[in-house]
């Protein structure tokens, strides 16, 4: 039996960050992972998905604008090469993380762990079974694909995001069940590659975490990318057909059927709380996840849960930040996090990025706020980037602070960082107004947006 200061289950963006941080602070750490270092995010999630999306967007942009200023011959997209490129990126990053874990003295074990008590586990590896105990424990087991109890959901050709990432042949038609973040990112990616895509969403609106005025901005780009969207569509059954797969769904009290070569199930992910003996720990949990304090501690002292498994917000960067919180609490440094200050990015085309509550949530909570919307055309760079149709939406409170923001358009993934810093630090409107932004850059649209709050915008009618 080996004893450590800290034992971590799961080597995703929560687990491996906690391991490195704790080791740098002097703890003896064992990190146990059942599959591969990097977890879902690095191996079959964020990184590989965005690698393929990047390649698809480059291809689509080239095809779309080649009649403007670019003249080429016939352009082809090689999905097999793109998948190989994605795999190379993943392998390179995994090797980098393993190198850092080794250099910081973290003991990494690849095997299946089972709790025998709150702070002891048995790990089955290729070499046999080993036992580990620790003073503190961090559970970072992540989440798994959620499947609906639909007849035919296990048919060949019906895949989750992991399966679609390994696909090396473009189908003629792809049906996506679920219009959330995962579903819409894959829908746009395949649509940009020339695949006919149909999204079936049960709710009245895709991307329900976003305001309707934002979602409506995706309608035209979706059509340009050969993506059709059907809301209020409840999938009832999948069956084999001579063309591949038949998807039967109910919409407006009428049964409908559509055909596809490939079906992606993207109806969300559930916290992974089964299969590793959590019932032997005394830790409270349910299918909805493991409840934790603001310091990520469970009901059992010294046992923490971070990332998707606590289900506070299923984002890799949230898991990483919660890793720091848990490790700091082990050292007696009490800090928490405000989930309203967490940025999110949707990698469709255009991109959408947001931080803070939506306007819909503000209305439901009877909050006082003002809204300012600023078009990307207020920044000259947007014309250079062919991105003048985007815009910034700011919500301002009575304290003269922006407390929520949404960006839709080119470089939204980068622009949201500046807004997040301002919101997190409760920067006053006039302080951003008095800040100099470089010209010509997309960031100037943020300056114009802040000027628009007091009706002082220069490059658009506020």
Q: Is 68's pLDDT higher than 70?
A: no
Which pLDDT value is given to residue 71? 74
CA 26 to chain centroid: 32
Q: Which residues, at least 6 apart from 7, have a Cβ–Cβ distance to it below 8 Å?
A: 29, 30, 32, 119, 121, 132, 133, 134, 136, 137, 138
Tell me the torsion sign for CA atoms 59, 61, 67, 70: negative
Q: pLDDT by residue (tens digit) across 345-383?
A: 999 999 999 999 999 999 999 999 999 999 999 999 999
Cβ atoms of residues 139 and 7 within 8 Å: no
Which pLDDT value is given to residue 396? 98
> Residue 172's closest CA among 258, 53, 262?
262
Residue 274 CA neighbour count, 13 Å, CB half: 5
The catalytic position among 439, 447, 455, 459 is 439
Q: pLDDT by residue (tens digit) across 414-455?
A: 999 999 999 999 999 999 999 999 999 999 999 999 999 999
Q: Which residues, at least 6 apart from 197, have a Cβ–Cβ distance to it below 8 Å?
A: 173, 174, 175, 176, 187, 190, 191, 225, 226, 227, 228
Active site residue 439: yes
Given pLDDT bands bounded at 50, 70 and 90, which one contains residue 387? confident
Q: Is 386's pLDDT higher than 90?
A: no
Q: pLDDT by residue (tens digit) across 139-194?
A: 999 999 999 999 999 999 999 999 999 999 999 999 999 999 999 999 999 999 99
- Structure tokens given for 203: 């709710």
**What is the Cα–Cα distance from 146 to 33, expressed in whole angstroms?**
21
Q: Which residues, at least 6 apart from 360, have a Cβ–Cβ distance to it below 8 Å?
A: 211, 212
Which pLDDT value is given to residue 441? 97
Q: Is 67's pLDDT higher than 80?
A: no
Which pLDDT value is given to residue 243? 78
**What is the Cα–Cα distance from 36 to 42, expressed in whole angstroms?**
9
Fold designation for 350-453: Enolase-like; domain 1 (3.30.390)
Q: Is 462's pLDDT higher than 90?
A: no
Q: Do domains 2-145+270-339 and 158-267 have the same CATH topology?
A: yes
The pTM assigned to this predicted structure is 0.95
Q: How far is CA 204 from CA 50, 100, 158, 208, 230, in A?
A: 27, 46, 24, 8, 9
Which pLDDT value is given to residue 66? 62
Task: Tell me the domain boundaries of the chain.
Answer: 2-145+270-339, 158-267, 350-453
Percentage of the chain modeled with pLDDT above 90: 92
Per residue, the 3-state secondary structure of the chain, as one string, reads: CEEEEEEEECCCCCHHHHHHHHHHCCCCEEEEECCCCCHHHHHHCHHHHHHHHHHHHHHHHHHHHCCCCCCCCCCCCCHHHHHHHHHHHHHHHHHHHHHHHHHCCCEEEECEEEEEECCEEEEEECCEEEEEEEEEEEECCCEEECCCCCCCCCCCCEECHHHHHCCCCCCCEEEEECCCHHHHHHHHHHHHCCCEEEEECCCCCCCCCCCHHHHHHHHHHHHHCCEEEECCEEEEEEEEECCEEEEEEEECCEEEEEEECEEEECCCEEECCCCCCHHHCCCCCECCECCCCCCCECCCCCEEECHHHHCCCCCHHHHHHHHHHHHHHHCCCCCCCCHHHCEEEECCCCCEEEECCCHHHHHHCCCCCEEEEEEHHHCCHHHHCCCCCCEEEEEECCCCEEEEEEEECCCHHHHHHHHHHHHHCCCEHHHHHCCCCCCCCCCHHHHHHHHHHCCCCCCCCC
Cβ atoms of residues 164 and 264 within 8 Å: yes
Give the mean pLDDT of 295-324. 98
What kind of architecture, by CATH, is found in domain 158-267?
3-Layer(bba) Sandwich (3.50)
Give the mean pLDDT of 289-304. 98
Q: Which CATH code is given to the segment(s) 2-145+270-339?
A: 3.50.50.60
Q: pLDDT by residue (tens digit) across 106-115?
A: 999 999 999 9
Q: Work out the mean pLDDT of the chain and round it to a whole number.
A: 95
The residue assigned the tokens 């424990």 is 137
Q: pLDDT by residue (tens digit) across 194-224?
A: 999 999 999 999 999 999 999 999 999 999 9
Q: Is 282's pLDDT higher than 90?
A: yes
> Residue 310's closest CA among 334, 330, 339?
339
């Amino acid at each position: 039996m080996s004893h450590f200061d800290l034992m971590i289950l799961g080597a995703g963006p929560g687990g491996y960050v906690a391991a490195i941080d704790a080791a740098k602070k002097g703890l003896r750490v064992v990190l146990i992972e059942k599959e591969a270092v990097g977890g879902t995010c690095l191996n079959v999630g964020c990184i590989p998905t965005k690698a393929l999306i990047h390649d698809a967007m480059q291809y689509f942009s080239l095809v779309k604008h080649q009649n403007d200023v670019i003249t080429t011959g016939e352009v082809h997209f090689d999905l097999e090469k793109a998948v190989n490129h994605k795999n190379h990126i993943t392998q390179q990053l995994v090797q980098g993380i393993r190198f850092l874990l080794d250099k910081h003295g973290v003991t990494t074990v690849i095997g299946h762990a089972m709790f025998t008590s709150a702070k002891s586990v048995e790990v089955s590896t290729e070499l046999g079974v080993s036992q580990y105990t620790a003073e503190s424990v961090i559970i970072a087991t992540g989440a798994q694909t959620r499947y609906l109890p639909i007849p035919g959901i296990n048919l060949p050709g019906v895949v989750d995001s992991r399966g679609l990432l390994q696909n090396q042949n473009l189908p003629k038609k792809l049906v996506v069940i679920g219009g959330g973040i995962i579903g819409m990112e894959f829908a746009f990616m395949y649509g940009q590659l020339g695949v006919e895509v149909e999204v079936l969403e049960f709710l009245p609106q895709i991307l329900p975490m976003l305001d309707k005025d934002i979602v409506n901005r995706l309608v035209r780009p979706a059509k340009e990318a050969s993506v059709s969207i059907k809301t209020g569509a409840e999938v009832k059954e999948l069956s084999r057909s001579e063309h591949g797969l038949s998807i039967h769904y109910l919409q407006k009290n009428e049964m409908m059927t559509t055909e596809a070569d490939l079906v992606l199930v993207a109806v969300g992910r559930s916290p992974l709380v089964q299969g590793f003996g959590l019932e032997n720990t005394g830790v409270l949990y349910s299918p909805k996840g493991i409840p934790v304090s603001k310091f990520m501690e469970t009901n059992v002292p010294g046992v923490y849960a971070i990332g998707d498994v606590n289900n506070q917000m299923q984002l890799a960067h949230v898991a990483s930040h919660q890793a720091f919180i848990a490790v700091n609490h082990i050292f007696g440094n009490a800090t928490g996090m405000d989930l309203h200050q967490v940025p999110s990015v949707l990698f469709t085309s255009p991109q959408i990025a947001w931080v803070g509550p939506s306007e819909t949530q503000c209305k439901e909570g009877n909050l006082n706020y003002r809204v300012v919307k600023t078009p990307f055309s207020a920044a000259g760079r947007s014309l250079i980037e062919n991105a003048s149709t985007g815009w910034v939406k700011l919500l301002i409170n009575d304290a003269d602070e922006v407390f929520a923001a949404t960006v839709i358009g080119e470089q939204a993934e980068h622009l949201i960082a500046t807004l997040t810093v301002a919101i997190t630090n409760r920067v006053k409107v006039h302080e951003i107004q008095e800040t100099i932004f470089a010209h010509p850059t997309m960031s100037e649209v943020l300056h114009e947006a802040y000027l628009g709050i007091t009706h002082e915008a220069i490059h658009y009618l506020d």
